[in-house]
Amino acid sequence: MRFRDGQWLVAEGVRIEYAEEVYRITPTPSGKGISLLCPTRKVMSRGDTLNLGTLSIDIEAAFDGVISVETTHWQGAIRRGPDFDLFPAGRPDVDAKITKTEAGTTVSAGGLSATVSGKPHEFDVSFHPTAGGKPLTTLLNRSVGLAYTPAPSSPMQLADTRIFKHYLFTQTTLSVGESIHGLGERFGPFNKVGQKVDLWNSDGGTSSDQAYKNISFWMSSRGYGVFIDTPERVELEIGSERCCRVQTSVEGQRLRWYLIYGPTPRDVLRRYSVLTGAPGRVPSWSFGLWLSTSFTTSYDEETVNTFLSGMKARDIPVEVFHFDCFWLKAFQWCDFEFDKDMFPDPQGQITRLKADGVVKKVCVWTNPYLGQASPVFAEAAAKGYLLKRKNGDVFQWDLWQTGMGIVDFTNPAACAWFVSCLERLFDTGVDCIKTDFGERIPSEDVQWFDSSVDPKRMHNYYTFVYNKLVYETLQKRYGTDEAVLFARSATAGSQRFPLTWGGDCESTPEAMAESLRGGLSLGLSGFAFWSVDIGGFEGYPPPWIYKRWVAFGLLCSHSRLHGSNSYRVPWTVDDDDQSDEGCSATLRKWTHLKARLMPYLFSQAQACVGAGLPLSLRAMCIEFPDDPTAWSLDRQFMLGDSLLVAPVFEEDGTVQFYLPEGSWTNFFTHEVKNGPGWFTETHKFGTLPLYVRPNTLLVLGKEGEKRTVYDYASDVEVRSYYAREGASAILVDNQGNKLGKLEVKNGEVVGSEVLTGEFRITVVNA
C-alpha cells in the first residue's frame, strides 16, 4: 500500500507517524536482543514525551545468521492466530551477543549483526556481516511507521477505531543495482524491483499479478533474504513507492520479519528452511510421467483404458494416472465418491490397470469444498464440519459449485471426517492426491470453529492446514517418504508437503514463459519440487507448442500432461503423426531421457531436501551468484547442480541462452561452448540447449532405459565432463539411501566398487 504521494506529500486520506529517533534501548525479556523505544517525533524536552505515539522495535538474535525485527504500536492488541509453524525440526541454539560502543548498540547472531546508531535524536539501524564488510540493508530515517486511513483529524477520534484502518510498515533500503526475487510463484518479471506485490492467495491463473502460492519471503542479490512472519495480507512496494526502499506493510498493530544472511543464495535458503521447514521427500516413482484425463473432457472407464493402452503401444511409460474432476458426479464435488454411471467398479478398474502394467500409481483430484447437491452436504453441515457465517448459517456461495460449503479444518471432528473420506479412496487403490484449490477462502462475515483465529490470517493459512492434513494422512497410510500431493495453493512452510504445480496457464509460448518465471520464483521461496501443465491448461495447443512444452515439462522435477477442455495424449494433438518429429515420438524421447537421468535426479533430490534448494526449476543465480547476468535470467534454469536447461519458445526452434564462465558441454552432441556469453541455437523437437557444467561426474541409467524406478547403481554410465581433482557424484538407491560416492582422485574415478552390472565410465572431456 502506498502511504505517500511522491517523495514530499502524504497520500490523500492518510496520516503517517514515523519512528523519528531511538529514545531508549533496553534488553528484551529473552536476553537475546534489545528493545528500542521510538517516539514519533524527536524528544528535545520532557514536554515532548506527551501526547504522541511510540513504536517499540525488538531486535533479537534468532539463530546463527538470522535476526528478527518486530515492530509494535499498541502492545495491548490481542495476538490472534493462526501463526506460521516455525522451527518444525527444533529451534537451534544461538550465541546472542549485545555490545555497546560510542558508535552504537549491536546485536549479533553468529555471522549477522544489527547495529543501532548511537547518535542522539537519530534513527538508523544497519544490518551487516559480523566480520565486517558492506551493509546488507538499513532502516534509515522515516523508514518505520504507522498509518491511519482515513486520516483522523483529532486523536480523540481514535477512541472508536472501528472506522479507521491501522497499518504498520517498515522500509529497508535498496542498494544500487540490487534485485529482489521470490515471494512465491509469481508469473510477472523475475526481478521484483519496481513492482507492487500483494501476498494474498488468489485463483488468478498465470497471466496476472495474482498468485496461488504467496510466500512471504524474498531474496536479495546482495546476499540476504527477508521472511515476513505473518499469514495475513502483506503489501509490498518494492522500489515502487520509494525507488530506493522495499516497503512492507500490514494492517494491524504488529509486524515481525526475519533478516536471513547468506552470503550466498544457498546459505539463505538453508537457513530459511530451518526457520519454516525443509522440503519433504518424494518417492522415486513420482518423477515419472503423470497422465491426466484433463478437466472438463468427457471420459469413463473405457476412455482411461484407451489412453493408457495407447501410451503403452507407443512405448511411452506412464507412472501415474490422474482422474481429474469428473470422476465425481456433477454438482457433487467433492464428496469423494466415484460417479458409478461412468465408473461402476473403480476398485476393480484400478486393480486391473496396475495388474496390466499400463500404470504404477493412481491419483485423484480433490478439493476442500462440498456442493450442496451431494447427499453428504446435509450431514457435514449439521455436524459443524463446514465454515459458518457470523449469524450461524453455513457459509455458502455459488462460486465453483452450487451452494458450496468450505470444510472447516479448525474443527478436529471435520478433520477426522475428511481423513476418513481419504482413507476410503486409499482402500479403492488411490495412491496420491491432487489437492486443488484452497485459495478462495472468505475473510469477511465468517466464523471459524476455532473462534481464536483471525479470518484474515486464515485466508492464506488455510492452504497450509489443508495440505498438511492430506499429506500426513498419505504418510500414515503409505510411509513417511512415499506421500505425494499435487497441490495448487501454498503459503510459507508448504514446502514440507510436496509437491506443487503451476496452476492454470494458456496453451501459448507466452504462458510457458510465465510458468517458467513462476517456477523460478517459487524455487527461490524454498520449494524443492514443482511441475506444470504440459501443453498448457487452457485452449488447444498446436503441435509445435505441445512438443516444446513436453521438452520443458520433462526437465522439471515432476512432469504431468494435463489440460482443460482438450486431451493431452499426444495422438489427439497432431492427428497421430507417426514421424520422428511427431508428438508421440517427441514425448517418447523426453520421457525416456528423464528415465535415464534418474540416478542423477534422485541423488540431487536428496541433496535438495537437506539444503532447502529447488531441484527444478533452479534459478541460475543460486549456482552463479557472483555473475551479475545470472540474477536476470528468467528463460533458463538449472536442473540440479550440473545441468543447464533453456526451453525453446519459438516455432522455428531458435533459442537464445546464456552460459556462465567455463567450458560447457552439449549433452546430446558433446560440442563445447565457452562462457561467459550468449549463444543462439536452432533445435528440432528432440533436443534443446541442455548443457553439462564443467567439473561434473554425471551418472546416467543405461542407454535405452525407460523405467523410472530401477537400480541406480547397476549398468550405469558415468560421464566425466572436464572433471578435475575432487569432482564427485553421490550414488543413491531408488529409496534415496546413500550407496557411495564417486570421486576423481589422481586423475582417476574412484569409488566404482559400489557400481554393479556392466557399468562404464566415459571421459567426455579431459
How large is the angle between the packed helices 583-611 and 543-553, nearest 10 degrees?
30
Q: What is the pLDDT of residue 70?
A: 98
Structural domain ending residue among the three candidates 611, 646, 668: 611
Distance of CA 90 to the CA centre of its chain: 22
Of the candidates 217, 260, 277, 270, the one whose C-alpha atom is nearest the C-alpha of residue 61 is: 260
At residue 765, the pLDDT reads: 87
Q: Are residues 627 and 593 in the same domain?
A: no
Same domain, 34 and 150: yes
Residue from 267, 337, 436, 717 carrying the catalytic annotation: 436
195: in domain: no
pTM over 0.95: yes
Q: Using CA atoms, how far apart are residues 317 and 224, in angstroms rounded to an integer?
A: 43
Same domain, 573 and 595: yes
- 209 labelled catalytic: no
Give the domain range for residue 736.
620-765
One domain, residues 290 and 350: yes
Q: Is the dihedral of CA 371, 375, 380, 381 positive or negative?
A: positive
In the numeric block, the cell 504467496 is attached to 214
Nearest to 114 by CA among 44, 28, 183: 28
Q: In what order do the strands lie in the sheet with 254-261?
A: 24-27, 33-39, 54-63, 66-72, 254-261, 224-228, 214-220, 180-184
Domain's final residue, options 124, 149, 173: 173
Would strands 254-261 and 66-72 be described as parallel, antiparallel, or unpaired? antiparallel
482 is known as an active-site residue: no
655 CB neighbour count, 10 Å cutoff? 20
- Tell me: do 135 and 165 sit in the same domain: yes
Pairwise CA distance, residues 151 & 11, whole Å: 10
CATH number at residue 318: 3.20.20.80
Cα–Cα distances in Å, from 713 out to 534, 667, 710, 716, 761? 30, 21, 9, 6, 12
Residue 246 lies in a domain: no
Q: What dihedral do alpha carbons 91, 93, 97, 98 form, nearest 10°?
A: 40
439 classed as catalytic: yes
Asked whether residue 582 falls in the same domain as residue 625, the answer is: no
Pair (570, 699) in one structural domain? no
On whether both 655 and 600 belong to a single domain, the answer is no
- Give yes or no: residues 625 and 655 share one domain: yes
Q: How many whole angstroms separate alpha carbon 437 and alpha carbon 460?
A: 12
Consecutive 10-residue runs of the chain (766 residues): their mean pLDDT? 95 98 97 98 96 97 98 97 98 97 96 97 98 95 97 94 96 98 98 98 97 98 98 98 97 98 98 98 98 97 97 98 98 96 97 97 97 96 98 97 97 98 98 97 98 98 98 98 98 98 98 98 98 97 98 98 98 97 98 98 97 97 98 98 98 98 98 98 98 98 97 98 97 98 96 97 90
Same domain, 27 and 102: yes
Residue 271 backbone dihedrals phi, psi, to 5 degrees: -70, -35
Q: Which residue among 20, 439, 482, 623 is the active-site one?
A: 439
667 in the same domain as 532: no
Same domain, 519 and 593: yes
Which residues fall within 8 angstroms of residue 33, CB to CB, at 6 or more apart?
Answer: 27, 58, 59, 60, 61, 67, 68, 96, 98, 107
Query: How many domains, in total, are found in the chain?
Result: 3
Within a domain: 379: no
Provide the Cα torsion 380, 383, 385, 391; round to 10°: 110
Last residue of a domain, one of 157, 173, 189: 173
Catalytic residue among 20, 21, 70, 504: 504
